[in-house]
A and B are shown apart, each in its own frame.
Chain A
Amino acid sequence: MAEFEPKIIVFACNWCTYAAADLAGTSRVQYPPNAYIVRMMCSGMINPSYVLRAFEDGADGVIVSGCHYTDCHYIDGPVKCDAMFAKLKRLVHILGLEDERLKREMISTSEGTVFARVVREFVSELKRLGPSPFSSLRNSRKEKAVA
Chain B
Amino acid sequence: MEEVKIGVYVCWCGLNIAGTVDSEEVARYAGTLPHVAVARDYKYMCSDPGQDLIKNDIKRLGINRVVVASCSPRLHEPTFRKACRDAGLNPYLYEHANIREHCSWPHATDKNRATEKAKDLVRAAVRRVYYQEPLEIKEVPVNPNVLVVGGGIAGIQAALDIADGEKKVYMVERDASIGGHMIQLDRTFPTLDCSECILTPKMTDTGHHPNIELMTNSEVEEVSGYIGNFNVRIRKKPRYVDVDKCNSCGECAKVCPVEVPDEFEMGLSMRKAAYLPLPQAVPAAFAIDKRGTAPCRIACPAGVNAQGYIALISQGKFKEALELVRRAMPFAGVLGRVCTHPCELECERGKFDEPVSIRALKRFIADYELKTEREKVVPIETTKDSKVAVIGSGPAGLACAYDLIREGYAVTVFESLPRAGGLLRYGIPEYRLPKEVLDNDISYIQELGVEIKTKSPVEDLAEVFNQGYAAIFIASGAQGSQKMGIPGEETSGVIHALDFLRMVNAGVDIKLGNKVVVVGGGNAAIDAARASLRLGAREVTVVYRRSRDEMPAISSEVEEAEHEGIKIHFLATPTKILSRDGQLSAIECITMKLGEPDASGRRRPVAVKGTEFTMNVDNVIIAIGQTVDKTALPKELNYTSWGTLEVDPVTLQTHIAGVFAGGDVVSGPADVVVAVAAGKEAAISIDRYLRGVSLTEERQVTPKRVENVSKERAQLKARASTPLLKLDERKGSFAEVELSFDEKTAIEEAKRCLNCGVCSECLECVKVCEQGAINHEMQDEFVEVEVGSMILATGYQQFDPSVIPQYGYKKFDNVLTGLEFERITCAGGPTQGRIQLKDGREPESVAIVHCVGSRDQNYHEYCSRVCCMYGLKYAELIKEFTKAEVYEFYIDMRCFGEAFEEFYKRVSEMGVNFIRGKVANITDRVMGEEERGKLIVTAEDTLLGKMIRVPVDMVILCAALEARSDAADVASLFTIGQRGDGFFLETHPKLAPVNTPTDGVFIAGCCEAPRDVPDTVAQASAAASKALSLISRGKVTTEAAVSYVDESICHGCGRCEEICTFHAPSIIRTDGRLVSSINEALCKGCGACAVVCPTGAAQIKHFNMQEIEGLVDGLLEVHRG
Contacts and interface: CB of A to CB of B under 8 A. Distances in A.
B117 A33 contact: yes
A106 interface: no
A110 B972 contact: no
A39 B978 contact: no
Given A22-B72, A25-B106, A145 B32 contact: yes
Interface in A39-66: 39-42, 44-50, 53-54, 57-59
B565 interface: no
Contacts of B1084: 73-74
Interface string B1069-1094: 00000000000000011111011000
Interface string B1043-1062: 00000000000000001011
A42 B1086 contact: yes
A45 B1061 contact: no
B108 A143 contact: no
Contact of B978 (A29, A49, A110): A110
Interface in B92-110: 98, 100-103, 105-110
Interface in A86-144: 108-111, 116, 138, 141-144
Given A47-B1091, A54-B1112, A36 B120 contact: yes
Interface in B10-44: 29, 32-34
Interface stretch (B242-250, B829-837, B1100-1108): B1100-1108
Interface string A23-35: 0111011111100
A53 B1113 contact: yes
A9 B1115 contact: yes
A119 B625 CA distance: 74
B713 interface: no
Nearest to A59: B1116
B360 interface: no
Contacts of A70: 968, 972
B78 to A, nearest CB: 13
B1119 to A, nearest CB: 4
Contacts of A44: 1086-1088, 1091
Contacts of A45: 1086-1088, 1090-1091, 1100, 1103
B975 interface: yes
A62 to B, nearest CB: 10
B1116 A138 contact: yes
B1087 A30 contact: no
B121 interface: yes
Contacts of B102: 21-22, 25, 37
B110 A41 contact: no
B1111 interface: yes
B114 interface: yes
Contact of A109 (B977, B1105, B1115): B977
B114 A49 contact: no
B202 interface: no
A30 B110 CA distance: 10
B1109 A53 contact: yes
Contact of A22 (B101, B979, B1061, B1116): B101
B972 A41 contact: no
Contact of A53 (B977, B980, B1112): B1112
A54 B1118 CA distance: 10
A57 B1116 contact: yes
Contacts of B975: 15, 71, 73
A28 B106 contact: yes
Contacts, number: 164
Given A45-B1100, A46-B1091, A146 B979 contact: no
Contact of B105 (A28, A39, A77, A84): A28
Contacts of A37: 98, 102
Given A22-B101, A50-B1108, A53-B1109, A15 B106 contact: no
B1014 interface: no
Residue among B29, B985, B1086, B1100 facing the most chain A CB atoms (10 A cut-off): B1086
B73 interface: yes
A57 B1103 CA distance: 19
B1087 A141 contact: no
Interface in B799-815: none
B1115 A36 contact: yes
A144 B806 CA distance: 68
Contact of A145 (B33, B117, B968, B1116): B33
Nearest to A51: B1112
A75 interface: yes
B723 interface: no
Contacts of A46: 1091
Residue among A28, A45, A146 facing the most chain B CB atoms (10 A cut-off): A45
Contact of B1117 (A50, A54, A142): A142
B1120 interface: yes
A130 to B, nearest CB: 17
A147 interface: yes
Nearest to B224: A75
B432 interface: no
A109 B1118 contact: no
Contact of B1116 (A29, A54, A77): A54
Contact of B1088 (A22, A73, A77, A142): A77
Contacts of B1086: 41-42, 44-45, 73-74, 77
B1119 A80 contact: no
Nearest to B115: A33
B101 A25 contact: yes
A28 B1120 CA distance: 36
Given A80-B1059, A109-B997, A49 B1116 contact: no
B751 interface: no
Nearest to A145: B32
Contacts of A14: 74
A118 to B, nearest CB: 13
Nearest to B128: A38
Nearest to B1114: A143
Interface string B169-192: 000000000000000000000000
A141 B979 contact: no
Nearest to B36: A146
B972 A141 contact: no
B121 A57 contact: no
B1116 A58 contact: yes
B1087 A146 contact: no
B1083 to A, nearest CB: 10
B113 interface: yes
A75 B1105 CA distance: 23
Nearest to A15: B997
A31 to B, nearest CB: 6
Contacts of A146: 32-34
Nearest to A13: B1086
B1088 A80 contact: yes
B124 interface: yes
Contact of A33 (B107, B997, B1103): B107
A58 B1118 contact: yes
Contact of B1108 (A24, A38, A75, A145): A38
Given A33-B107, A143-B1118, 18 more contacts: A15-B997, A21-B102, A25-B105, A31-B107, A32-B107, A36-B124, A37-B102, A41-B1085, A44-B1091, A46-B1091, A50-B1112, A57-B1112, A58-B1118, A110-B978, A110-B985, A116-B106, A138-B1116, A145-B33
5 contacts: A33-B113, A53-B1109, A77-B1086, A110-B980, A138-B1116
Interface of B: 29, 32-34, 72-74, 98, 100-103, 105-110, 113-114, 116-117, 120-121, 123-124, 968, 971-972, 975, 977-980, 985, 997-998, 1041, 1059, 1061-1062, 1084-1088, 1090-1091, 1100, 1103, 1105, 1108-1109, 1111-1113, 1115-1120
Interface of A: 7, 9, 14-15, 18-19, 21-22, 24-26, 28-33, 36-42, 44-50, 53-54, 57-59, 70-71, 73-77, 80, 84, 108-111, 116, 138, 141-147
- 8 residue pairs, one from A and one from B, having the closest CB atoms: A45-B1087, A25-B101, A109-B977, A74-B1086, A143-B1119, A25-B105, A57-B1116, A22-B101
